[in-house]
A and B are shown apart, each in its own frame.
Chain A
Amino acid sequence: MERTITLSEVEHLFDFLAQKRVRHYDLQVELLDHLASSIEEKWQTEPTLSFELALQEEYKKFGVTGFSKLVKKRERYISKQLHKQLHRQVLGWISSSRVLFVIPMILGMGHMLQFFPFAEIAAVIFVGIGFLLLIYGLIQHKKFIRKQRKKFYFLDAQVSLLVMCMNLYFLPIHFSNIMDYDLQYLPFWVAQVFAILWVYGMIFCYELVFVQLKAKRQEAIQIMAIEEVAMS
């Protein structure tokens, strides 16, 4: 009978990967399967080889740097992919019927930014909405990790993107400070650019928190459900 990886060896592989700084479950699963498959193949010709020795031999094939380069490159690719995907989703608002909501918002915001006290009220409202979305997104993320006790890079990357999105919200304020603009006396074109940035930022955060993060959490739950069935 062919020797296969046992449940306790699977758990040992998870610990091994965590020790080697593969902390995200989505990558752990892939590398674990690779290591397990290659060990099982080794056992076909050397059935008495110990699991530990087989593991060390297979791990050496990942090179001197082990998993670290692989982890860094994956994080870079996923972050890039997420950013592109979200940007496409935001632009989708303009090419769909939701443009009827976007254009009035930009024009209304641009108009409010030119008239005191509306300029400051508008700025506070939009930055405030951004903060609320950020806090809501972070709370949902923390709750998920606490409940599932597993980290997924495609979720962590989205939360990092959410925090970066806040910079978009502050960009108009930084720009005003640098150019010494008073919010109530903004030139017309500056008010429109600020309005576009703020509306873009709000849609970006909305898509991230209520569409992407939600969908990715579902995906993560499905993967863990498959693992639960596999290990039962």
Chain B
Amino acid sequence: MNKKLLHGTLTTIILKLLKDNGEMYGYEIVQRVKELTNDQLKITEGALYPALHKLEGEGLLTVEYKKYQNRVRKYYQLTEDGAKETSMQVADLFSFMKQIQTLLESKPKLT
């Protein structure tokens, strides 16, 4: 799978997952994407955390720290703005995919 394609849609993927699952932690997001796509899509750690921190910085995600076994785990959740942004980004992405599909399926002009 083209890494550049994934890079361009990573924030939408993260937002959608959080909308569907409530709260998630970083590693869980990586695993969930692998699971849902049958290992076809792999989010790298180097891409995931900057995307999460950026979304947090933009006020679209909020964080909560909880105890997990003998360590602390950081959970991400959507804010109200994050929920609105998710709907917009998902709609935009579907629309974009439809346009690309139309373009790629168009027949060449006969001269």
Contact = CB atoms under 8 A, between A and B. Distances in A.
A77 B70 contact: no
Interface in B42-96: 44-46, 49-50, 53-54, 56-59, 65-74
Nearest to B50: A73
A80 B24 CA distance: 24
A33 B25 contact: yes
A10 B11 CA distance: 30
Interface in A103-135: none
Interface string A21-39: 0000000011111101110
B26 A34 contact: yes
Contact of A70 (B50, B65, B67, B73): B50
A73 B48 CA distance: 12
A38 B30 CA distance: 10
Given A37-B27, A77-B54, A5 B71 contact: yes
A228 B74 CA distance: 15
A5 B70 contact: yes
A29 B64 CA distance: 12
Which among A7, A34, A70 has the highest number of chain B CB atoms within 10 Å?
A34
B1 to A, nearest CB: 17
A42 B71 CA distance: 18
B49 A70 contact: yes
A148 interface: no
Nearest to B73: A33
A223 B65 contact: yes
A70 B46 contact: yes
B53 A77 contact: yes
A231 B68 CA distance: 10
Given A74-B53, A80-B57, A5 B69 contact: yes
A29 B50 contact: no
Contacts of B49: 30-31, 34, 70, 74
Contacts of A37: 25, 27-28
Interface string B18-30: 0000000111100
Contacts of A33: 25-27, 68, 71-74
Contacts of B25: 33, 37
12 contacts: A5-B70, A6-B70, A33-B72, A63-B46, A65-B46, A69-B50, A73-B54, A77-B50, A77-B53, A222-B65, A223-B72, A229-B67
Give the 7 A-B residue pairs with the shortest CB-CB distance, closest first.
Answer: A77-B57, A81-B57, A37-B27, A73-B50, A230-B67, A63-B46, A74-B53
